[in-house]
Structure 1
Amino acid sequence: MEYQEPLFFQLMQYASRSDHPDVIDMVSGNPDWGSPDGIGEGLHEYADFGGERFQYPPSEGLRDLREEVAERRNVPVEQVIITNGGGMANTLGMGRALERGSGDEVVMTDPVYPYYPGKTTMLGGEQRFVPVGADGSLDPDDVRDVASEDTACIVVNTPNNPTGKVYSEETLGELVAIAEEYDAILVSDEVYDHFDFTGEFTSALEFDSEHRIVTNSFSKTFAITGFRVGYAVVPDPHVDAVRARNMLTNVATTRPGQYAVLHALQTTDPAYYEANREELRERVDTFTDALDAADAEYTRPEGAFYVMAKFPDFPGTLENVYDLVDEAGVAGMPGNGFGDSADEWVRFALVTPRVEEAADRLADYFA
């Protein structure tokens, strides 16, 4: 996939200019259920500090937040680097993998979150793709078949965007082993870990290895995509290099945002997370019922909040998705934006209270 402006922005811009009077946005992953009270409370409290508290934070992040993350993830605080969102954490992890001189290839799935191939090209790497099963499952043997002495990095995302697959403990363990075998680094993007519907999510942190970097973000968890607060857990041999790259490219991320996230972590009841998962389970049921009425094939997510749908005689091209915007008033993502294997599909983000209305519109359009 070529490095280019992601189609997300093109679709949102097109939808905003559409002649349709009321377009339902199912393109971007901006949660609509609102942040926990701790976010606003933390910001209000921070606003009164002034002085030193408004200056640069430590490049690796506020110590208190790093300690909170380290305790929750059962890792040394020295391995936690707070980043400018999960996107920066992934860039740091992939950059570290590619700069070590152990290869220039980045192995990733097809379909794939399109920022990974874009980052690969931007960082000077070569893209290699591994197909996944019809249910989104990833066979480690397929990864091993593609991996070679030129493999610098393996990038995975669990729960997965766009397929919704939650990778098993066995799969994650095998991926770590493959990274070790080829002196590569597994970058495991776990930004949707709080949106696991199976109860069986496994983090790559379960495997103690110098060949895995785990990335995450509070953007989806706390519905604060505009805050840009994420983190990477980096094994000791790579910490200094990743910290230096973070400082050189980003300096640091928002101090007020870090403080608010820390306050929310310390005050948010587990019921907040479960209520959001339950809301998403209901939306999946509602949306897929309507897709049945539209005679569509679809993926039923095990995690995250995306559904891939394939409609009869309706390839997932940008032009067809534009037609959905103009004629049905529903904006989704063209499948071919996620790779060759998804070119017959359209991806929908279930982060709108109007899921049922959107589903009815699609059912009417394809009736």
Structure 2
Amino acid sequence: MDYDTPLFFHVMSYATDADRDVIDMVSGNPDWGSPPGIAEGLHEYADLGGEDFQYPPSEGLVELREEIAARRDVDVSQVVVTAGGGEANYLAMARAMEREAGDEFILTDPVYPYYPGKTTMLDAKQRFVATAEDGTLDPDDVREAASEDTAGIVVNSPNNPTGAVYDEESMRELVEIAEEYDALLVSDEVYDHFDFSGKFTSALTFDSDHRVVTNSFSKSLAITGFRVGYAIFPPDLVDVAKTRHMLTNVAGSRPSQYAVLHALRETTREYYEENRRLLESRIETFTDALDAAGADYTTPDGAFYVMARFPDFPGTLSNVEKLIDEAGVAGMPGEAFGSSRDDWVRFALVTPRAEEAAERLADYFSDR
């Protein structure tokens, strides 16, 4: 089976090798720093030694799983701590296929590229549902695409790349569609702390045996390198997922989990609120510069990405390389996210140089 190398790696390598200063707006690595509890937890862990340096329980440290379960109002047995949100999504999608209730995933267009990549790994089929211009998803379109072949429906809210946030009614209907077609709704909620609209609703709001919620601390605690995520499964589906996790990874990183647990207990609400305010300010500054560049763009209700479409400048890989070479700004080509936005470019606003990048883009397109 052939796998395509993610386009992210190509663009990042091209930007790194450029003969000029380039502002990275490709990767979603938060720049605002982790809360103090992360470093404190690591220092505390370093002094433990002995048995605490050995394998943790495969499904995650008991105390961390208990903390997650309490915060999400589920039984601790339903929680599997994973190697980031990526593994959580893989386990959930694999579980959908193992139910043998279909062999097709419904995905949105535009889509986070790793979802279709995982369908390829799982030897599954793909069916795409286009979102609205603002990135919102109409559940009626999902219902129309669903069939007896549907194994799973994969959604991401707040959304990468559009910044859309699915409200309570949309999420309720998505859960109902999964139940109606005996499919599994996989709700990736990794950006749940970055909701600017106040409309975000977790799929956990609705009691159902047909939904799995995945998440990660990579973005919310600014620790993408720690690789600590989790999945919450229905009781009847969790045991097989734990087995697949054990066979794939044996267990996750014990020091990372220990530090995350310490940070969850010590971090105040102000940390998350301050980061949201920072992002809202960056979004306003960046989109003002896009106005100056004559671009169309999405104003995100959540997450930290902006998609932009520049006049006579389709978001192809070659044009993204041209932006790197001539403007010194690296974004992601729209074609990486599906066919509906292949003339757009996605920018991640997780750099202190976001305002400078916006000025570079405005200057570049005003001179064209």
1:76 aligns with 75
1:272 aligns with 271
Asked if the contact 1:164/1:305 (under 8 Å) is kept, the reply is yes
Cα distance between partner residues in 1 of 2:87 and 2:149: 24
Cα distance between partner residues in 2 of 1:288 and 1:200: 22
Is residue 121 from structure 1 mapped to residue 120 from structure 2 by the alignment?
Answer: yes
Cα distance between partner residues in 2 of 1:79 and 1:85: 17
Aligned amino acid, residue 289 of structure 2: A
Asked if the contact 1:132/1:139 (under 8 Å) is kept, the reply is yes
Within 5 Å, give how 1:52-201 maps onto structure 2.
Answer: 52-201=51-200
Cα distance between partner residues in 1 of 2:195 and 2:101: 34
Question: Scaled by the length of structure 2, what TM-score is found?
Answer: 0.98
Aligned amino acid, residue 295 of structure 1: G
Give a deviation string over 1:123-155, Cα, whole Å, max 9, x none.
111011000001101000100111100000000
Partner SS state of residue 193, structure 2: helix
CA distance 1:3–1:170, change in 2 (3 Å): farther
Within 5 Å, give how 1:313-332 maps onto structure 2.
Answer: 313-332=312-331
Cα distance between partner residues in 1 of 2:263 and 2:199: 25
Show structure 1 runs of 5+ residues with no match: none
2:5 aligns with 5
Within 5 Å, give how 1:276-355 maps onto structure 2.
Answer: 276-355=275-354
RMSD of aligned alpha carbons:
0.7
Partner SS state of residue 279, structure 2: helix
Give a deviation string over 1:29-75, Cα, whole Å, max 9, x none.
00000000000000000001111111111111000000000000011
Aligned amino acid, residue 9 of structure 1: F
Cα distance between partner residues in 2 of 1:200 and 1:182: 26
Give a deviation string over 1:94-127, Cα, whole Å, max 9, x none.
0000111111000010000000000001111101
Cα distance between partner residues in 2 of 1:337 and 1:200: 27
Aligned residues: 365
Structure 1 stretch displaced more, 315-324 or 245-254? 245-254
Cα distance between partner residues in 2 of 1:301 and 1:3: 31
Cα distance between partner residues in 2 of 1:166 and 1:16: 33
Aligned amino acid, residue 336 of structure 1: E
Is residue 213 from structure 1 mapped to residue 180 from structure 2 by the alignment?
Answer: no
Aligned amino acid, residue 7 of structure 2: L
Cα distance between partner residues in 2 of 1:100 and 1:196: 33
Asked if the contact 1:3/1:117 (under 8 Å) is kept, the reply is no
The ranges of structure 1 where at least 4 consecutive aligned residues each deviate by more than 4 angstroms after the TM superposition are none
1:237 aligns with 236
Alpha-carbon distance, 1:252 to partner: 1.1
Cα distance between partner residues in 2 of 1:167 and 1:199: 10
Cα distance between partner residues in 1 of 2:333 and 2:27: 12
Asked if the contact 1:317/1:335 (under 8 Å) is kept, the reply is yes
Cα distance between partner residues in 1 of 2:220 and 2:171: 22
Alpha-carbon distance, 1:210 to partner: 0.4
Alpha-carbon distance, 1:4 to partner: 1.2
* Percent identity between the two aligned chains: 72
Alpha-carbon distance, 1:3 to partner: 4.1
